[in-house]
Amino acid sequence: MALLSSLSLSKHLLMLVLLMEENEVHCKNSQPCDLSSHDYMSLTSLNLHGSLSFNETLRASKDFGGFRVRKPGAVVEPGSVQDIVDVIKVGLSSVSGLTVAARGNGHCTNGQAQAHRGVVLEMRGIKGIEVSLSRDNPYVEAGAGELWIDVLKATLKLGFAPVSWTDYLSLSIGGTLSQAGISGQAFRHGPQISTVLQMEIVTGKGEVITCSHTEEEDLFYGALGGLGQFGIITKARIAIQPAPQRTRWIRAIYEEFEEFKGDQEMLISMPSSSHHVFDYIEGFVACIGDDPIDGWDTIPPNTMITHHTYDHHHAAWNSSSSSTVRYCLELAINYNTADSTHDIDKKMKAMVGSLRFSGGVVYSVDVSYLDFLSRVSYSEARARAIGTWDAPHPWLNILVPVSRIADFDRTIFKETVRLGVGGPILVYPLNSNKWSDRASAVVPDEEVFYLVAFLRFSLPFPLGFSVEAMHAQNQQIMEFCKQNGIGMKQYLPYYSKQSEWEDHFGNKWEEYRARKMRYDPMAILAPGQNIFPRIISRREEK
Ligand code: FAD
């Protein structure tokens, strides 16, 4: 008994020491603060155009993942590019240990935009959208803190739009370009990083550099998919094209994975010049049952947008297959209001004619191009209403080589996640040749690979799946890939050891590391990615 209580006392003492360590740093004016006195004093003496706060740190401590919370020492809302330079320069002092994280809209899921005891730069203040409609090279130039939805609306006003998207548009320009930016247009136009013409970047040395395919190319390609390691993107110039006005949004169900896979791969291999190439190709796994999140009822395109009702769609499921999962192919054809519905019907019939979906059932609906691209905002509203938007999201996104996707189906889709994951399971192929080998983003070493996204939504306690169980299943999936030699790559990657990062980057690692030395040698930037430890010349006396 005595032993037990002394053990529990030492446990409490240990806890206390740990807690004290967390809070041990005090500012010179004796206000508690998570920064060294040097960094605190240097930050307060800056003449910022924007704002600086040591107290309003809650938002910057969290992200969409909702399970990793790291409190920054300060939050800066930069009012200018110079503000970003000034904050980074505080970190460059030989006595500083400051780290600096750009936060776009905080939609990553593993704390990648956090800076424990460092400075979070709330990038949403870096704004501005300018459209240039030069005949040969139309583009939009956007501040890195702008959201894609606002870029879309601004360009659509002039009848233009970027060509490559993410499924959800309340993501920042700087945030997605640091990853890749993938959706159903990427098989044809490449990810968003393949559509960037020029960027302005503040490096970890505090230099402001304009870079492009021809100017400062090393930084340009490094920053594309670079996980924010080489600099903070402040502005990006993105290619645009004349925009369609309407979209025919189509879904069809498959019982057999082989047929689903065969059709998807045939569709993404069509040349862009073909009259029969779709404008968007995705797919997802639907699990048996009426679950509104990943069950059968998700098959018809979003009824919130269309107010369409679909009768007897379950008829398509009356089959002898014993599997609990089905596959839904999702396609889109863009068109203009001047095109007649009859012509679009004819075109669609010809385009889906050779596909091998089950039951002869195709769901389709016509929506505006804007509604189609912003379709996830309707799901967002529903998730907010039931509390799952703000609950934790232990997401796993991976890129699986085409040669192994059938193995993945047999074990993971048909067994491991056969009852669903509490959210969509996306699965669609992409063409490697649309990704620049010079960019930092890494993809599997095959001509075609699949994006497989387990977009888990947990219900608030005590209703939902346990977050721990979701994490454990993610681990199980990763382990399956490792044990079976499936050369997958994580998308929106997160690792805790540098050796895992080396594996992730593979033959790009040496170049990635060399770029870090060139552009952020003190490893001040994006500490939440957990790739490089901060280099500190000399610690200040506290
Ligand atoms: P943050 O999460 O704030 O930042 C992400 C990383 O980028 C951090 O390391 C941060 O430091 C760094 N960063 C942010 N801004 C800058 C900058 N200006 N310069 C340098 N580094 C910067 N991704 C897809 O590709 N396709 C999708 O369809 C898709 N759908 C999504 C749907 C939802 C509901 C959510 C939550 C995410 C989705 N994502 C998708 C993932 C998204 O691309 C990432 O979360 C990405 O990080 C963008 O989010 P953000 O702008 O909030 O960036």
For the stretch 35-59, pLDDT in tens is 999 999 999 999 999 999 999 999 9
Q: What percent of the chain has pLDDT over 70?
A: 85
- Whole-angstrom distance between the N-terminal and C-terminal Cα of the chain? 42
Helices (H) and strands (E) counted in the chain, each on its own, are 17, 18
Q: What is the mean pLDDT of residues 149-176?
A: 98
Instruction: Please tell me if the CB atom of residue 492 comes closer than 6 angstroms to any atom of ligand 1.
Output: yes
Cα–Cα–Cα angle for 203, 522, 228, rounded to 5 degrees:
45
- Percent of the chain as helix, strand, coil, to the nearest 5: 35, 20, 45
Report the C-alpha gap between 497 and 507 in whole angstroms.
17
Instruction: Please tell me if the CB atom of residue 528 comes closer than 6 angstroms to any atom of ligand 1.
Output: yes
What pLDDT is recorded for position 536? 84
What pLDDT is recorded for position 21? 35
What pLDDT is recorded for position 24? 39
Residue from 63, 166, 293, 380 whose mutation best tests the ligand 1 pocket (most atoms within 8 A of CB): 166
The predicted-structure confidence for 483-493, as pLDDT tens digits, reads as follows: 999 999 999 99
The predicted-structure confidence for 372-389, as pLDDT tens digits, reads as follows: 999 999 889 988 998 889
Atom in ligand 1 nearest the alpha carbon of residue 529: 9
Instruction: Please tell me if the CB atom of residue 192 comes closer than 6 angstroms to any atom of ligand 1.
Output: no
Return the amino acid letter for 263: D
Instruction: Please tell me if the CB atom of residue 123 comes closer than 6 angstroms to any atom of ligand 1.
Output: yes
Task: Kindly report which listed range (19-23, 39-43, 111-115) carries the lowest average pLDDT score.
Answer: 19-23
Is pLDDT at 306 greater than 70 in this prediction?
no
Helix 498-505 to helix 509-519 angle (10° resolution) is: 110
Residue 143 CA to ligand 1 center (angstroms) comes to 15
Task: Kindly report which listed range (19-23, 45-49, 196-200, 380-384) carries the lowest average pLDDT score.
Answer: 19-23
Residue from 59, 179, 384 whose mutation best tests the ligand 1 pocket (most atoms within 8 A of CB): 179
Instruction: Please tell me if the CB atom of residue 142 comes closer than 6 angstroms to any atom of ligand 1.
Output: no
What pLDDT is recorded for position 144? 98
**Phi/psi at 314 (5° precision):** -70, -15
Q: What is the mean pLDDT of residues 503-511?
A: 98
Task: Kindly report which listed range (80-84, 243-247, 342-346, 479-483) carries the lowest average pLDDT score.
Answer: 342-346
- Torsion (CA) 396, 402, 403, 405 in degrees, nearest 10: 40
Q: What is the mean pLDDT of residues 83-96?
A: 96
Q: Tell me what the pLDDT averaged over the chain comes to.
A: 88
Residue 435 CA to ligand 1 center (angstroms) comes to 18
Q: What is the mean pLDDT of residues 196-220?
A: 98
- Long-range interactions of 130-134: CB distance < 8 A, separation 24+: 131/155, 131/158, 131/160, 131/240, 133/158, 133/160
Look at strands 100-103 and 119-122 and give their pairing: parallel
Residue 174 CA to ligand 1 center (angstroms) comes to 8
For the record, the structure tokens of 434 come out as: 């649309």
419 pLDDT tier (thresholds 50, 70, 90): confident
**What are the C-alpha distances in Å from 309 to residues 92, 137, 313?**
60, 43, 10
Give every CB contact of residue 4 below 8 A, 6+ residues apart in sequence: none
Residue 108 CA to ligand 1 center (angstroms) comes to 5
Report the C-alpha gap between 26 and 261 in whole angstroms.
58
14 pLDDT tier (thresholds 50, 70, 90): very low
Q: What is the mean pLDDT of residues 326-353?
A: 93
Residue 396 CA to ligand 1 center (angstroms) comes to 14
Report the C-alpha gap between 113 and 523 in whole angstroms.
15
Instruction: Please tell me if the CB atom of residue 106 comes closer than 6 angstroms to any atom of ligand 1.
Output: yes
Report the C-alpha gap between 486 and 401 in whole angstroms.
7
Report the C-alpha gap between 519 and 230 in whole angstroms.
5
- Residue with the bigger pLDDT between 431 and 319: it is 431
Q: Which residues are catalytic?
A: 107, 167, 282
6 pLDDT tier (thresholds 50, 70, 90): very low
Whose structure tokens read 């094209």? 241
What pLDDT is recorded for position 301? 64
Q: How is residue 210 annotated by DSSP?
A: E
Residue from 88, 178, 238, 382 whose mutation best tests the ligand 1 pocket (most atoms within 8 A of CB): 178
What pLDDT is recorded for position 407? 97
My answer on whether omega of the bond before 462 falls inside 30° of 0, hence cis, is yes
Identify which of 353, 329, 347, 338 has the alpha carbon closest to the alpha carbon of residue 281: 329
Report the C-alpha gap between 98 and 73 in whole angstroms.
9
Is pLDDT at 1 greater than 90 in this prediction?
no
- Residue with the bigger pLDDT between 326 and 3: it is 326
Cα 152–chain centre separation: 18
Instruction: Please tell me if the CB atom of residue 167 comes closer than 6 angstroms to any atom of ligand 1.
Output: yes
Query: Which protein residue's CA is at the shortest distance from atom 27 of ligand 1?
Result: 166
Instruction: Please tell me if the CB atom of residue 100 comes closer than 6 angstroms to any atom of ligand 1.
Output: no
Q: Which residues pair with 397 in a beta bridge?
A: 453
The predicted-structure confidence for 254-292, as pLDDT tens digits, reads as follows: 999 999 999 999 999 999 889 889 999 999 998 865 555
Identify which of 84, 87, 86, 120 has the alpha carbon closest to the alpha carbon of residue 102: 120
**What are the C-alpha distances in Å from 282 to residues 21, 106, 180?**
48, 25, 17
The predicted-structure confidence for 310-339, as pLDDT tens digits, reads as follows: 443 444 455 556 677 889 999 999 999 999
**Phi/psi at 186 (5° precision):** -70, -25
Task: Kindly report which listed range (324-338, 408-422, 449-463, 518-532) carries the lowest average pLDDT score.
Answer: 449-463
Identify which of 233, 310, 257, 297 has the alpha carbon closest to the alpha carbon of residue 452: 257
Query: Which protein residue's CA is at the shortest distance from atom 31 of ligand 1?
Result: 168
Atom in ligand 1 nearest the alpha carbon of residue 223: 20
Instruction: Please tell me if the CB atom of residue 35 comes closer than 6 angstroms to any atom of ligand 1.
Output: no
72 pLDDT tier (thresholds 50, 70, 90): very high
Helix 81-92 to helix 37-44 angle (10° resolution) is: 150
Cα 486–chain centre separation: 22
What pLDDT is recorded for position 350? 93
Say if residue 216 is exposed, middle or buried (CB neighbours under 10 Å; 0-12, 13-18, 19+). Answer: middle
Report the C-alpha gap between 237 and 107 in whole angstroms.
22
Instruction: Please tell me if the CB atom of residue 144 comes closer than 6 angstroms to any atom of ligand 1.
Output: yes
The predicted-structure confidence for 451-501, as pLDDT tens digits, reads as follows: 999 999 987 666 667 889 999 999 999 999 999 999 999 999 999 899 999
State pTM to two decimals: 0.91
